[in-house]
Structure 1
């Protein structure tokens, strides 16, 4: 048992900064590859020379992000429970938990797909798409949406490989899917002359690659799968949803806020939506390290909480915030310097170009506060305060988006929408950063109180009783 213990506790010693950098670097490779391919997809579409196509992909991407966010929330629960079983040495329990998690993922995503598929025209119209743009967005979604359960199961398999500690094969899952998309996109869009339909078909095929690599690593290599019985699935369902529900609520806050921004942009025409679509792809590519950081620091915080090393928890959060600030400042500088080149890469003109340039020059700086909020969310989720994460994310997606975007759109048009989107995160980033350190202080105080009580109880139990002589 000594070996698993040392593996589980590797983050309680050594430099927290080194752990943060190493974990973030590993996590970011697969994540950023997916974002880059997504941006390439939009780049290929923009080369067709029709602004409506880029806008259609923008609407579809906003809607698909909603599904991806739910899949991430479910994957968090799958990872947590499977890792817990593995940590206890219960491999059979871990296999059942992995099987049950994949069953839950398949069921939830299939039901959502079936329910929402007939509503696609209504959904696209509700988001602000009109005319030929709406028709193309619906056509794209009719091809891609049925493969959503496949995508979600592949994501879950990648997460379960991380629970095993096989970060390399987990990375291969996303890298393989990204490579498949990068190859198939130009082949179907240009080689076969299928245009937007080709992009959708390539997207679907890449999801089969995702699930294929995940299945090989999880089932064939590690054997971490057991078909769950009805009884076992019912037994683990409460524990699964206890983690999944707050995680899902936290994850879907972002696409809800983005949907409002897309609707606000739609009032200013397809060029504005196309510019926002490019920005939506540019953000995760430019700031993918920050997205990865929020997930990478979780195990570091969790292990040190178990070891009651609150000094290391504080240091980990401080180092994470330092990495965030330095990285964002560097990226902001690069985006500002090459703002016109970025717009030119996507063939943006008119309002689309103005929005991209404005984002690179000003709004990208707001990721200083987004990064702080990401680190705070990781702290809340791993220190037992997931409710704070949910509240802050929903606050950001509503109070931090709607009034700022509404005012910005009325005062400054499309650029005002973008400015409002960036300004709204400042308050929530600062509150999140302050609150996560308060949480650590509270946990430390409670731990000291508990330890003092336990020590007093031991002292009382071992004290030598004194007896008064009787007369």
Structure 2
């Protein structure tokens, strides 16, 4: 394979490969989550309007980041399948073209974002007091988004080749740099030292600067150490063909990442939890945030299974693909149940520590006793979707994630109406987790194809003399 740090995932213990990538990825995800917490804290010191402006930006930034997640999934799929086929030339070309496609696609979004930032956020409800801070924050964020997305796609390329340690180190490094820069960029003074006092713009710039550092580092590694970047021009036809192969997986994967946020919006909105008051919404919000830290390995699993299914599918070893799915699903079940028991045991102290109202505490404890106990279903859905993306079969992933999201929204709203209580909404989410997890596992292990979808061959150009005859 291309590069010294790559690993052949078609040999050795299947789940051993997944676990070896899952562990460092978990640390990287935790580091990035902590960055969000630190950002929120420092921006909160500026004032309510500034805090609200940055919080309001979250759905938009997540929607834009879904593009990079999709492009990363497309890169993982194409590169890992080529690695399974032991085709170094395709690995280099698709790695190069994945990076160029991400830069161009996100660059286009960046330009549109800077131009339309104010009308966009007024459309989604930003108040007059929030708008100046939204513009300050999002103009910087949109301007530097290429530097944020670039390292993500580059990291996915390395993961596709079995190298999970360096991408995780880069995530942690970006998080540390971001947390160090935050107070100096945001505040006028910190620890007796002068700060730049850029406010919310400083928060966005700290994120962009931290990712720029990692982009240079991981880019240099790809070029000089792994030699995965091919600077030769192979013609527009091959470039467009490779972009098409990446987008064939990347676009559905990006769409899949939007289903869950939309479903959560319905669950938390006026048809769901919001009808029962602020305390109910706060209880579910706190419970879900704490739960997210506990199930980080499930998020890491979804980033680790694709390279394994892709390489083994590309090599035609379907038994190892099926084993990767089966053992990943078992891991989801064991880990989720273990974390649910721990959280339940600690819930009598956790709820009052984060929630002042008795109702909020009761809602949080209900959530942990129902949803957290069934979160394995969510993990199974994520792992299955990512695994099929690795096989070059993104339609299966779209089917899995969309059906779970629809089920969750319908059952949560129905539960709230039938039982007229927060417990009804929460119970609906829990039932959706059980049904989607059980249905997904059954379908994947007994019905779904385990073969990788073959890469389309580009049609060769007709010979010049043939055209003249």
Question: Comparing both structures, which one devotes a greater share of its residues to helix?
Answer: 1
Matched, 1:173 2:173: no
Matched, 1:257 2:263: yes
Give yes or no for contact 1:109–1:149 (8 Å, CA) kept in 2.
yes
Matched, 1:211 2:215: yes
Q: Deviations over 1:171-191 (max 9, x none)?
A: 222111111122223444452
Question: Mean Cα displacement is larger for which, 131-140 or 23-32?
Answer: 131-140
Structure 1 residue 220: Cα displacement: 3.1
Give yes or no for contact 1:35–1:281 (8 Å, CA) kept in 2.
no
- Name the larger-Rg structure: 1
**Residue aligning to 2:38:** 40
Which of 234, 247, 254 is the equivalent residue of 2:253?
A: 247
**Residue aligning to 1:237:** 243
How many pairs are equivalent? 437
Question: Mean Cα displacement is larger for which, 293-302 or 126-135?
Answer: 126-135
**Residue aligning to 1:453:** none
- In structure 2, what is the Cα distance between the partners aligned to 1:33 and 1:299? 22
Give yes or no for contact 2:8–2:161 (8 Å, CA) kept in 1.
no
**Residue aligning to 1:363:** 371
Give yes or no for contact 2:81–2:390 (8 Å, CA) kept in 1.
no
Give yes or no for contact 2:160–2:306 (8 Å, CA) kept in 1.
no
- In structure 2, what is the Cα distance between the partners aligned to 1:7 and 1:426? 35
- In structure 2, what is the Cα distance between the partners aligned to 1:208 and 1:344? 40
1:20-419 pair list within 5 angstroms: 20-45=18-43, 48=45, 55-85=52-82, 91-121=88-118, 123-124=120-121, 127=124, 132=129, 136-137=133-134, 139-189=136-186, 191=190, 192=195, 196-227=200-231, 229=233, 231=236, 232-261=238-267, 263-264=269-270, 281-305=289-313, 312-339=320-347, 342=350, 349-350=356-357, 359-383=367-391, 385-401=393-409, 404-405=412-413, 408=416
Structure 1 residue 291: Cα displacement: 1.0
Rate the CA distance shift 1:54–1:278 in 2: closer, same or farther, 3 A. Answer: farther
Q: Deviations over 1:287-317 (max 9, x none)?
A: 1100111232334344554666555544443
Rate the CA distance shift 1:93–1:313 in 2: closer, same or farther, 3 A. Answer: closer
- In structure 2, what is the Cα distance between the partners aligned to 1:85 and 1:400? 36
- In structure 2, what is the Cα distance between the partners aligned to 1:399 and 1:35? 27
Structure 1 runs not aligned, ≥5 long: 445-471
Question: Mean Cα displacement is larger for which, 84-93 or 224-233?
Answer: 84-93
Structure 2 runs not aligned, ≥5 long: 452-469
Q: Deviations over 1:220-245 (max 9, x none)?
A: 32232234646142242322222222
Instruction: Give the secondary structure class of the aligned counterpart of 2:230.
Output: coil
Instruction: Give the secondary structure class of the aligned counterpart of 1:223.
Output: coil
Give yes or no for contact 1:28–1:292 (8 Å, CA) kept in 2.
yes
- In structure 2, what is the Cα distance between the partners aligned to 1:267 and 1:144? 34
Rate the CA distance shift 1:17–1:245 in 2: closer, same or farther, 3 A. Answer: closer
Give yes or no for contact 2:416–2:423 (8 Å, CA) kept in 1.
yes
Rate the CA distance shift 1:238–1:314 in 2: closer, same or farther, 3 A. Answer: closer
Q: Deviations over 1:432-457 (max 9, x none)?
A: 111101235x659xxxxxxxxxxxxx
Question: Mean Cα displacement is larger for which, 302-311 or 234-243?
Answer: 302-311
- In structure 2, what is the Cα distance between the partners aligned to 1:161 and 1:64? 24
Structure 1 residue 169: Cα displacement: 1.9
Rate the CA distance shift 1:438–1:359 in 2: closer, same or farther, 3 A. Answer: same
- In structure 2, what is the Cα distance between the partners aligned to 1:36 and 1:226? 36
Give yes or no for contact 1:68–1:152 (8 Å, CA) kept in 2.
yes
The RMSD of aligned alpha carbons is 3.9
- In structure 2, what is the Cα distance between the partners aligned to 1:167 and 1:22? 8
- In structure 1, what is the Cα distance between the partners aligned to 2:440 and 2:347? 30
**Residue aligning to 1:469:** none
- In structure 2, what is the Cα distance between the partners aligned to 1:55 and 1:353? 24
